[in-house]
Structure 1
Amino acid sequence: MTEPARWTAIPQPTAFEPAGGMWRPERARVIAASRGLRREAERLEPELRACGIAGAADVSDPVIRLRLSPLATRDRTDESFTIDVAEDIVVTAASAAGVFRATRQLLHNLRAQGAVPRGAVQSAPAVAERGLHLDAGRKHYPAEWIRAQLHAAADVGVNVFQWHFSENPGFRLESEAFPEIVSDDRIGRTEAADVVATARDLHIELIPSLDMPGHLQHVLTAHPELRLPEAPGLETDHALDITREDPVRFALVLIDDMIPVFPHSTRWNLGGDEFVDFDRIAEFPALATAAAERYGAQGTGFDLLTAFVNRVAAHLRERGFEARAWNDGLLRSTREHLDPDVVLTWWTNWNAGMRPVSDAVAAGHRLVNVNDAMFYYVLGENAGYRYPTAARIWEADWHPGLFPALWGPEGQSTVRQELVRPYPALLLGASFAVWSDRPDAQTPAEVAQGIRGPLRAMAERSWNAGSALSLEDFAALDVAIGEATPLEEERRHV
């Protein structure tokens, strides 16, 4: 007896009921059932041609019909979809983004096995966000390379791109207000607009990442008067002086200068991490003095940091942005309480002083899991990191609710941090992260090749809250679906 054809796509759908046989016409017609899906039809037609399926010659040729569900809400972030494959194919989704995700599934099957199995597919993501963070501050990545990675990420269901354009070694987006802070190797605003347009066209939310008050060495080299005062034996050349009004106002003006680059974005990562050596925060005289003056004897530098994050978050909110921040220095204050609307991008608990995930949940913070043990692709494997692999992700049985383990005073403990399924609404999703610590360790092409497998593993296991696939099955799928190649029609559209 012939084994039924498998649905060959990443991520795997929530459910597939095979009906027997394969859909593989010589010609097909794509019909958008509503105006809002015309772009998806326009995109799919040349993609089908690239898979060997020509446009329809007459009305008798098979049809791929794209439609919105009659029950669809106005929530454009709802990516759930169904696919019914018979003589014709009917794609029904709650949004244009859902239709886009569904058509990627069809293309994966065509690329992998030259046909689409007949049957019924249902699919909905377990978490709303599947992200890719790119440190383009330490290393210059050309705009065309970034756009290619957006295509590769969108092909497997990644729907968030966090663009980290400022770091200690560089500031790599054109600044109109402060041209003196910008690196020679940078992306101009016209090129940035192309990246923004590509992300929007691919239903990817673009999140600017401008880290402060730490990670600002390159900016502060041009403006040393804004640095935190020196402390004996401690580094401050990367740290903004949050004890004074002028440096804080500079930070806010810098944000305002960059906002026009991201006209469609609604979320912003302000950083907040690695501001100073947190284990020795009491040894910074400027912080200790300001904290005592503002909060009394119990005040600490963590209160000042939290106050700064809250102020930046309020500034962003006034401009229509949801604020995000890294977790390591937050929830550690005693007098200032972190704005509960700040989303925490949770990357680590490597230090015993860092607060556990349970504290964030108790305080009502929404979370994005950027598990550094699983998803930190650190160039040169700096700081003891190893390049992520699908094998390690499967070995850990990672899913979006599995956060980094807690560390104790003697090193990493076995204390597991996990939000179990079904996930609480506070868990927004997960993200992969490229960090360019040793920028010359890999070329952009090597980075693209290196992240492909583990990024796809994250996408599969994020969409499905784990995976029913074995590692071997996943690896075979990864090879079979190949890579998405942006077509000339897409470049012209953007």
Structure 2
Amino acid sequence: MSGRITDWPTYTERGLMVDVGRRHFTPGWLEGKIRELAWLKLNVLHLHLSDGLGFRIESASHPEIVTRPALTKDEVRHLVSVADRYHVTVVPEIDSPGHMEAVLRAHPELQLIRVDGTRDPGKLDYSKPAARRLMQDLIAEYADLSPARGSTSVATSTSGTRGIRTSVSDRALSLRRPWWAAGGSPAAGLVRSRVGKDGCW
């Protein structure tokens, strides 16, 4: 007896978010998770690389902000390569302008000052030129983590899950180049200046 099964997903985006910012996960564990996602017919791995508790990807432009242990850029590139073979899209995310305690511990002068004069330890003050330069440096450093054929995005978001919702779309999954999702944050203009209007939403 023989038969044929036709299967298709109900949802275009089927994924998992791993919060690397709050807790370090080894490259080996993440690679295993990519294979598990593929087996389960999931197609997105959202790597939340920074949060208030940690900034967990190496930085040549700002090594002072990195929380150890951290992933290297080569390790992230390797994960992107493995994911590409398994038809999984890797979406690295760097939070901005909120949830930045780990970054702003090294740069308290860039903290947002509230109306009452107190500092917000987790919010970056984009009105300061040095704050915009910091984000420009990081965007420039990470924008090309994925190869030119593109299966990676970096999301800068201010509103939790909205970053992933705006970053993973049919258009993004089919776009064969690196792309960023700005998630409505003030970093959107910086991202557009780096990757162009079509690489940012």
RMSD between aligned alpha carbons? 2.5
SS in 1 for 2:35: helix
Give the distance between the partners of 1:176 and 1:183, measured in 2 at CA. 13
Aligned to 1:267: 153
- Structure 2: segments with no counterpart, 5+ residues: 161-182
Deviation, 1:319, is 8.1
Deviation, 1:273, is 2.1
Aligned to 1:134: 18
- Structure 1: segments with no counterpart, 5+ residues: 1-20, 22-117, 275-304, 323-341, 343-494
Aligned to 1:477: none
Bigger Rg over Cα: 1
Give the distance between the partners of 2:109 and 2:119, measured in 1 at CA. 15
Distance change in 2, residues 1:265/1:246 (3 Å): farther
Give the distance between the partners of 1:151 and 1:266, measured in 2 at CA. 17
Aligned to 2:40: 156
SS in 2 for 1:121: coil
Preserved CA contact (<8 Å) 1:242 1:248: yes
Deviation, 1:227, is 1.2
Give the distance between the partners of 2:198 and 2:31, measured in 1 at CA. 25
Aligned to 1:218: 102
Deviation, 1:132, is 1.2
Please point out which of 244, 254, 257 is paired with 2:128.
244
Preserved CA contact (<8 Å) 1:172 1:186: yes
1:311 aligns with 2:189: yes
Amino acid at match of 2:99: H
Amino acid at match of 2:46: Q
Structure with bigger strand share is: 1
Give the distance between the partners of 1:240 and 1:144, measured in 2 at CA. 33
Deviation, 1:269, is 1.6
CA-to-aligned-CA distance 1:245-300 (integer Å, 9 cap, x gap): 331232122111122333333533211227xxxxxxxxxxxxxxxxxxxxxxxxxx
> Percent identity of the aligned residues?
29
SS in 2 for 1:141: coil
What does residue range 287-366 of structure 1 map to in structure 2 within 5 Å?
Answer: 308-315=186-193, 317-318=195-196, 321-322=199-200, 342=201
Give the distance between the partners of 2:156 and 2:48, measured in 1 at CA. 10
1:209 aligns with 2:93: yes
CA-to-aligned-CA distance 1:442-472 (integer Å, 9 cap, x gap): xxxxxxxxxxxxxxxxxxxxxxxxxxxxxxx
Preserved CA contact (<8 Å) 1:164 1:208: yes
Distance change in 2, residues 1:225/1:269 (3 Å): same
* TM-score, with length taken from structure 1: 0.33
Distance change in 2, residues 1:246/1:178 (3 Å): same
Preserved CA contact (<8 Å) 1:230 1:236: yes
Give the distance between the partners of 2:78 and 2:138, measured in 1 at CA. 22
1:143 aligns with 2:27: yes
Amino acid at match of 1:321: G
Deviation, 1:207, is 1.1
Give the distance between the partners of 1:181 and 1:158, measured in 2 at CA. 33
Distance change in 2, residues 1:268/1:194 (3 Å): closer
Distance change in 2, residues 1:202/1:235 (3 Å): farther
Aligned to 2:178: none
Structure 1, 137-146 or 313-322: larger mean CA deviation:
313-322
Preserved CA contact (<8 Å) 2:54 2:67: yes
SS in 1 for 2:159: coil
Aligned to 2:4: 120
CA-to-aligned-CA distance 1:295-321 (integer Å, 9 cap, x gap): xxxxxxxxxx95715424523541863
SS in 2 for 1:132: strand
SS in 1 for 2:112: coil
Distance change in 2, residues 1:316/1:133 (3 Å): farther
Distance change in 2, residues 1:128/1:312 (3 Å): farther
* TM-score, with length taken from structure 2: 0.77
Distance change in 2, residues 1:196/1:179 (3 Å): same
1:171 aligns with 2:39: no
SS in 2 for 1:271: coil
Amino acid at match of 2:85: D
Preserved CA contact (<8 Å) 2:145 2:152: no
SS in 2 for 1:228: strand
Preserved CA contact (<8 Å) 1:138 1:169: yes
Distance change in 2, residues 1:157/1:167 (3 Å): same
Distance change in 2, residues 1:149/1:242 (3 Å): same
Structure 1, 121-130 or 310-319: larger mean CA deviation:
310-319
Distance change in 2, residues 1:145/1:266 (3 Å): closer
Deviation, 1:217, is 0.7
SS in 2 for 1:177: coil
Give the distance between the partners of 2:137 and 2:7, measured in 1 at CA. 43
